Structure 1
Amino acid sequence: MKIFTVAFFFILTLQNIATGQDSGVDILDKKLRRAETPELRADALLHLAGHYATRDSIYARYYLNELYELIENKNLNRFLSSAYLEEGILNYYSDLYPEASSCFLKSENALKEIFDVKVAARLWLFWGNMHALRSEYDSSLIKYQRAYSYYEQADDLKGMSDALFAMASEHFSQGNPEYSLHYHNRAYALRISLQDSARIANSLIGLARIAEQQDSLSKSLGLLKEALRLREMIGDKRRVASSHLGLGSFYIEHGKPGLAPSHLTTAYDIFEGLNERTGMTYALLKTSEAYILNEEFDSALSTLDESCRLSKNIDNPSLMAECYKIRSRLMESLGEHDQSLYFYKRYTKLNDSINNSEKERRFSELEVKYLSQQKSARIEKLEAQEKLSRQRAVILISGVFLLLLVIVFIMIFYRQQNQKLHYRNRLLESEKELQKQRMELQERQRKELQERLEYQEKELASKALSIYKTSSLMEETVNQLDALCADEKKQTSVPREINGITNNLKSFARLDLWEDFEHSFTKVHTGFYKTLLEKAPDLTASEIRIASLIRLNLTTKEICAITLRSESSIKSIRFRLRKKLEISGDDNLTAKIMSL
């Protein structure tokens, strides 16, 4: 009896973990109606299927079918793993364990394509629950640990606490209270930090079971009552009924059957209001046990009749077997040993049938799993071959494409090189032609400049010659006038007038003629005076004029004639020019001045 109580209590606790608070079906319906995109509609359908998975399998399957159709039509493969998971949870709560395993396996395969850490965490948690119900402890613990790891990656504290709670419950079922207490304390600490009253109540129940096993009955009872208080505070009727059922079972197991009926009756009333016939049946069975222990046999008999009727209606062989077992005890208490034996035989027969059915179910599930694995292996092999073929095709196509690309590149490269070479040749020809034209132009300009320079120098020489002739004529005239003035016999007032004329002629020769000459000289030799003064800034005007005449390559005699100076005077000026221009005695003065 105690084993049956623990098993049923464990199932209810797992159901509480999975379902949580009512997610608000009205809000989900509005979300579905207002969904404007396929993604939003798929999300709403997924939540509705999850909501009804533990409440109404018809609605849940309706929403799942619509979700699968939407995924296929709109190629929403990222929702596929979640859809398989919700279908697996639905089959899990409908006791269709082979179908649930198949859905969980499909969800796992879908996660390999598009991974979602939250979906993976829920998958391994429920898969672990299913292994736990079939007493596959090692498998369940492995899956719970993976669920905890994924919840930790997602930083989901509620999920982490649920995984820890599940591991604690599994260790308790295996008879490891130390490990169970360790995981319960970790889960309880997380739930306290989250201030999640529903989950705190579940942890308190788990801790109460450990305290009960350690014979700390008062502590266990206190924890159960605190869990009931929390559940009543949050108003979750299903959990409140579960707590009343747990308290009634606790009193029966520990010799206080008189306190059990009030809790069990409350549990029955709540389950009846929720139309949960399994809970109603179990509450009636525990109530009949309490009546038998209290020796209220009539009440026990009527309660058993009602529980047997409900067990038949819901077609639950396990509860029916429990009915036969309790009725056998009742008949034994009434002294009707033949009836007691009859019902005990029916109990053992039905229980054996259940065990055989369970074995067949497990065998079928293993067979389905084996076939699924074989099918998955074949699919993976075919996919690998197809992938390899695709890779080879891609490599071949890529190779051909690269070869064509290289050929095109080479052709473009050679074409560009030819174009560049042609352009370079044309450019060289153009440059040669341009250079030739430039040289011809420069040659013409040089000739024109040379001709102009020769012309100007001829003109300048002509002017210098003109100055020379004019100067010679003036000198001769002056000499004649001087001779007249020297005649003593003709000393009159005329010599004074002749002296005036002589001075005017000399002044004219030295000013007007020189100004005209310098103007013409500057046009021909533009930078001569500037260069000359840069080398010898202290030159006098007469020295500059003599230097300009030397620049015209005139001899000393010619310079004397032009300037009306004596040869010694010109030599003296040449000496001063050599000194001021820092020209040594070995160098030719004329050549140096002409190079300026």
Structure 2
Amino acid sequence: MNIIQKLSCYFLLLFCGIAYGNPSDNILLQKGWDALVKDQENEAFNYFFQAYEKAKKENNVHDKAEALLYLGICSFGASSEKGLRYATQSLSEYKKLSATNPQAAKKGRSRCLQLISTIYSRQKKYPQAIALSKSVVSDLEGTNDTEGTLGLAYSSLGTLYEHQKKSDSSTYFFKRALAEFERSNNIAYLPNAYIKMGDLSKKKNQKQQSYELYSKAMRLADSSENKQAQVLSLIALGNWELTFNRQQPQAEIYFQKAKLLSEKLSDKVFEIKSIQALIDLKKLQQQFMEVSQLQDEQIQIKDRYYSLEREQIAKNLEVQFEVAEKDRKLELISKEKEVSRLTNFLLFSLVLILLIVFSFSYFFLKRINKRDKQLLKTKEELFTALEEQKKLKEQQFENDIEHKESQLSAITLQMLQKNELLEEIKSIIRKKDDSTEKQLSRIINSHFTQDQNWNDFDKYFESVNKNFYNKLKQKYPDISSNDLKICALIKLNLSIKEMASILNISPDSVKTARYRLRKKLQLTTEDNLTEFILSV
């Protein structure tokens, strides 16, 4: 890793302070960040990896995404490819939060894109880096971004456009970045933002404005005890003195103070930068002996720096090997779990199939049993219906026999009466005396007496037509005995002439009696008397 790359790494960490630093609740991530700020990258990587393993075990998608993001920050300085891989994995994990926690997913996506933009910028993929930072700006503009990600995107765009010599665009985004940092009062970002704006003002020969911006940066760096920002502010003030006041002694004071502060920093980029400022000053003063000494000192620092860098790279490789071994073991465990899961799945499937077959057989047999029971019940109902039908037929047969017996009794009685009458007439004729005619007349008259005959008629009529009279009397209380006789003769379906002969009255009298009966029965002219009587 050369000096420019290390400086780029520093600026990323510096600009990512709040957005990527101070993880909210995860202690392992907090410890890892603290170690990373102190340039203890190996220790930081271990903390971040432990946080990742813990989140993976607990299936905590948010912490897994955070851990992958910090692994990317920790790794990209030594390996852009690995940093990019961790960043894209983190981006994938944040995407899973879209349904459950869309706000966290959106913020995480923006942070990942900004990290990827920085990696692309290191790889000099400026168009891709610009596109990503613009995407971050598009997502966060108009929102209350308290983490500083939007300001970082503005600052990245300003730096990227500065590389492309687009001063207007660069100035525009640096101003937006400063405004965003001032709005959210992000003290960690403001010193560097003021230095950048001071550089722009210095290029425009705005002496007072550039000085005020550098002074603001210095005051904020002092108040926050940000040693790195203090070194950069002192170098900026020294260059300002050389540019506008030509005060080499004052500039040297600033550079020497910056050098003393940078010697205490673990990141030697700042010491190299402060020595370079002194070298440039001594060249202006034509103090070439001191220039040579400073250059030797700078070379020694670079040698130590590269030695430390190589050692750090070796440690990173060692950590990566350990991580790879853990990944391999985890992969083996994962495969074993997959085999176990597949075996359990097959066993579960087999049990499920057996259960389905058993259930199907059970319900099939149950259905057959239910059908058999239903068939047996239907047969029993059919048998019961046949028994009832048989009983009804027997009852009807008995009624028919009873009816025929009644008719037979009536006919027998009529024949007996007729025979008795004929025998009596025969006996009278044999005597042939004077009283014969009178006796015949008496007998005939006696047979015209209907009371006894009607009693017998009613008896046999009721035996055949049960409750006929009672039904009429209940429904029509005003009906007379003569009316009942007419009804009985109508029931026998006799003609008016036959009824007149039986009742020993004229046919006209029968018609009159029928008319009166219709009125008592409340029948209209359209109603048929015979049909009505037959229906009773």
Q: TM-score, normalised by structure 2?
A: 0.65
Q: In 2, distance between residues paired with 1:513 and 1:245? A: 147
What is the 5 A alignment of 1:36-75? 50-51=23-24, 64=26
The 5 A counterparts of 1:525-536 are none
2:219 matches 1:269: yes
| 1:533 CA displacement | 8.5
In the alignment, is the contact (CA less than 8 A) between 1:169 and 1:206 conserved in 2? yes
Q: Are 2:208 and 1:206 aligned?
A: no
Paired with 1:481 and 1:363, the residues of 2 have a C-alpha distance of: 170
Which residue does 2:17 correspond to in 1? Answer: 15
Summarize deviations over 1:66-120 as a string: whole Å, max 9, x none: xxxxxxxxxxxxxxxxxx6666555544534344444555566667677677656
RMSD: 5.5
Matching of residues 277-356 of structure 1 within 5 Å: 277-291=227-241, 295-356=246-307
Q: 1:369 aligned to 2:337?
A: no
* Residue 188 of structure 1, CA deviation: 3.5
> What percent identity do the matched residue pairs reach?
15
* Structure 1: distance between partners of 2:311 and 2:500: 138
Q: How does 1:115-514 map to 2 (within 5 A)?
A: 122=66, 125-134=69-78, 136=80, 138-141=81-84, 144=87, 154=98, 158-194=107-143, 201-217=151-167, 220-221=170-171, 223-250=173-200, 261-291=211-241, 295-389=246-340, 391-392=342-343, 395=346, 459-460=409-410, 463-473=413-423, 475-476=425-426, 484=434, 501-508=442-449, 512-513=452-453
Distance 1:395-1:176 versus aligned 2 partners, 3 A rule: closer
1:516 aligns with 2:456: yes
Structure 1, 437-446 or 393-402: larger mean CA deviation = 437-446
Which residue of structure 2 lines up, in the alignment, with residue 41 of structure 1?
none
C-alpha contact 2:5 2:122 (8 A) present in aligned 1: no
How many Å apart are 1:270 and its aligned residue?
A: 0.8
> Where in structure 1 are there 5+ consecutive unaligned residues?
20-48, 52-62, 66-83, 488-494, 547-596
In structure 2, the CA distance between the partners of 1:462 and 1:122, relative to structure 1 (3 Å rule), is: same
Q: Structure 1 stretch 455-464 or stretch 445-454: which is displaced more?
A: 445-454
Amino acid of the residue matched to residue 50 of structure 1? Answer: P
State the AA in 1 paired with 2:196. Answer: G
Q: Which has the higher contact order (CA 8 A, sep 6+)?
A: 2
Q: Deviations over 1:9-66 (max 9, x none)?
A: 44332335435xxxxxxxxxxxxxxxxxxxxxxxxxxxxx624xxxxxxxxxxx645x
Partner AA of 2:297 in structure 1: R
Change (3 A) 1:259 1:218: farther
Residue of 34, 41, 45 corresponding to 1:97: 41
Letter of the structure 2 residue corresponding to residue 505 of structure 1: S
Q: Distance in 2 between matches of 1:181 and 1:130?
A: 22
Change (3 A) 1:321 1:410: same
Do the aligned partners of residues 226 and 453 (structure 1) sit closer, same or farther apart at CA in structure 2, a change above 3 Å counting? closer
Compute the TM-score of the two structures, normalised by the length of structure 1.
Answer: 0.60
Alpha carbons 2:33, 2:44 under 8 Å: kept: yes
SS in 2 for 1:237: coil
Q: Which amino acid aligns with 2:23?
A: G
Residues 334/5 of structure 1: CA separation in 2 closer, same or farther (3 Å cut): farther
How far apart, CA to CA, are the structure 2 residues paired with 1:414 and 1:370? Answer: 64
Q: CA deviation at 1:243?
A: 1.3
Would the aligned equivalents of 2:117 and 2:128 in 1 still touch at CA under 8 Å?
A: yes
Q: How much does 1:507 deviate?
A: 0.8
Q: Which one is further off, 365-374 or 99-108?
A: 99-108
Q: Residue 5 of structure 1 contacts residue 249 of structure 1 at CA under 8 Å; is this kept in 2?
A: no
Task: Write the deviation string for residues 254-290 of structure 1: whole angstroms up to 9, x where unpaired.
Answer: 9888875543332121122123233223323443444
Distance 1:192 1:284, change over 3 A: same
Q: 1:134 to 1:285 in 2, by over 3 A?
A: farther
In structure 2, the CA distance between the partners of 1:120 and 1:541, relative to structure 1 (3 Å rule), is: farther
Measure the CA separation in 2 of the matches of 1:426 and 1:159: 72
Kindly state the Cα deviation for residue 175 of structure 1 after the two structures are TM-superposed: 3.0
Q: Is the 8 A contact 1:144 1:167 kept in 2?
A: yes
User: Are the aligned partners of 1:264 and 1:283 in contact in 2 as well (CA < 8 Å)?
Assistant: yes
State the one-letter code of the partner of 1:384.
Answer: K
Q: Which moved more, 1:405-414 or 1:499-508?
A: 405-414
2:122 maps to amino acid: S
Q: Is the contact made by 1:102 and 1:369 (CA closer than 8 Å) also made in structure 2? A: no
The letter of the residue matching 2:124 is G
Aligned twin of 1:39? none
2:506 alignment partner in structure 1: none
| CA separation of 1:214 and 1:318: change in aligned 2, threshold 3 A | closer
1:172 maps to a residue whose letter is S
Is the Cα–Cα contact under 8 Å of residues 467 and 513 in structure 1 kept in the other structure? no
> Secondary structure of 2:124's partner?
coil
| Structure 1 position 150, deviation (Å) | 6.3
Amino acid at match of 2:448: S
Deviation at 1:505, TM superposition (A): 1.0
CA 247–5 in structure 1, closer or farther in 2 if over 3 Å, else same: farther
- Match of 2:16, SS state, is helix
CA distance in 1, matches of 2:235, 2:18: 22
Contact 1:474-1:505 within 8 A present in 2 as well:
no
Cα gap change, 1:144 to 1:371, in 2 (>3 Å):
closer
CA distance in 2, matches of 1:121, 1:393: 30
| Other structure's SS at 2:23 match | helix
Deviations 1:543-590 (A, max 9, x none): 9999xxxxxxxxxxxxxxxxxxxxxxxxxxxxxxxxxxxxxxxxxxxx
The 1-side partners of 2:410 and 2:425 are apart by: 22
- Matched AA of 1:274: S
User: Compared with structure 1, are the counterparts of its residues 537 and 208 closer, same or farther at alpha carbon in structure 2 (3 Å cutoff)?
Assistant: same
Q: How many residues align?
A: 475
In structure 2, relative to structure 1, the CA distance for the partners of 1:124 and 1:193 (3 Å cut) is: farther
Structure 1 residues 309 and 513: alpha-carbon distance in aligned structure 2, compared to 1, 3 A threshold: same
The letter for the 1-side match of 2:447 is K
Q: Which moved more, 1:255-264 or 1:208-217?
A: 255-264
Identify if the C-alpha distance between structure 1 residues 348 and 442 changes in structure 2 by more than 3 Å, giving closer, same or farther. Answer: same
Deviation at 1:542, TM superposition (A): 4.5
Counterparts of 2:39 and 2:433, CA distance in 1:
164
